[in-house]
Amino acid sequence: MDLTFTESERAFREELAAWLAANPPGPEPVGQEEAHFGWRREWQRRLYEGGWAAVHWPAQYGGRGASVVESAIFFEELGRAGAPLPANVLGLLLAGPTIMLWGSEEQKERYLAPILSGQEIWCQGFSEPDAGSDLAAVKTRAVAEADGWRISGQKVWTSIAQHAKWCMLLARTDAQAAKHRGLTYFLLDMEQEGVTVRPLRQITGESEFNELFLDGAFVASENVLGGEGNGWKVALTTLMNERAGLAFFLQVRMRQLLEALIEQARRRERLDDPLLVDRLVGLHMRCEALRLTAYRGLTAIEKYGQPGPEGSLTKWMWSQTNQELCQLAVEVLGAQALREGAPWAYELLRSRGNTIEGGTTEILKNIVAERVLGLPKAR
């Protein structure tokens, strides 16, 4: 891949960087979850008003029709500016593109605009207590009624469900069909009886994700996405977008953390310790390899119109490197890094989930083994 940016890509970066410099997100509320989410909501509102909420969406839906490279530049610059991800990140990156591909004209008309403006927040109801890596094993049942479906079951790990108006829900509509065939993708209204959200307290102290209980919740027929029994294919669209979108934001944030760690080591006069420097250099090289692999992944998107297995490789590399970096920070800073409320303590504790969310490392390794290295299938 040619990593030289074209004139229009450079102009895109400059325009965005200038906008971000003129519109900083304001101070981040620390330790108050509601206020923090409100801050991200406000940030999305401002991105929306500036025309930056979803650069990768086609212009007809309010985006900028940005190329994959421009979209990568967008996330790099957002990370570089220290800005947060917009509140409706699951709507912008997952629900929106899935609706654009599979939705009817009425669905596009109804759902896309409030996703873009952040008026309606979305969550992703895929995982269940016994269906995570093996997602096709979902047991949540949808039973047909005259004008829709009644849904019962339990989802878990449902991020930001406590703020969500809508849920991308995968449920079983045909218990007799083969595992992958009996699924349907629903757009579930979270504001109804029969939907209960119970926040889960994480190791960081936050409740980023939730249990979601469905007890006869109703979805009207027009809120099936992609047709009855077609849920697995529709869900794959969502999952592919999940792994592709954030790589650039995450790699920039990790580079910033590494630079902060090197600065801490310098202040403590530790940079003459060859063992420490060796580990820092190793992390530096992996950050750089990650950046280049993420750009290489764009070639697959440009060529085939969808992300290739490089997305799995970058997710695996990023999660492992981020965990090692946070661990090293604790070794450099000592007990001070583990004080309650210390930024490094948060980074260390939050990084534990990196090797689980968006596909566990073992699953990603299986994908890389099969699709990059051509090794025999695990099963």
Residues that bind ligand FAD (CB under 6 A): 123-127, 132-133, 157-159, 209, 353, 356-357, 359-360, 362-363, 366, 378
- Least CB distance from residue 67 to ligand FAD, whole Å? 28
Q: How far apart are CA 52 and CA 200, in angstroms?
A: 32
Nearer to ligand FAD (CB atom), residue 57 or residue 126: 126
174 or 357, CB closer to ligand FAD? 357
Nearest residue to ligand FAD on Cβ basis: 132
Min dist CB 369 to ligand FAD, Å, is 10
Catalytic option among 70, 208, 242, 347: 242
Rounded to a whole number of angstroms, the minimum distance from the CB of residue 368 to ligand FAD is: 12
Residue of 85, 41, 92 whose CA lies nearest to 66: 92
> What is the closest distance, in whole angstroms, from the C-beta atom of residue 62 to ligand FAD in the complex?
24
3-state secondary structure of 371: helix
Closest by CA position to 114, among listed 185, 187, 184, 171 = 187
Which of 124, 241 has the CB closer to ligand FAD? Answer: 124
Decide if 259 is catalytic.
no
Q: Which is nearer to ligand FAD, 245 or 359 (CB)?
A: 359
At 232, which amino acid appears? Answer: W
Q: Roughly how many angstroms between the first and final C-alpha of the chain, as a whole number?
A: 33
**Residue 174, Cβ density class (10 Å: 0-12 exposed, 13-18 middle, ≥19 buried):** middle
Look at residue 28 and give its three-state secondary structure. coil
**Residue type (1 letter), 356:** I
Would you tell me how many other CB atoms lie within 10 Å of the CB of residue 5? 14
Catalytic residues: 242
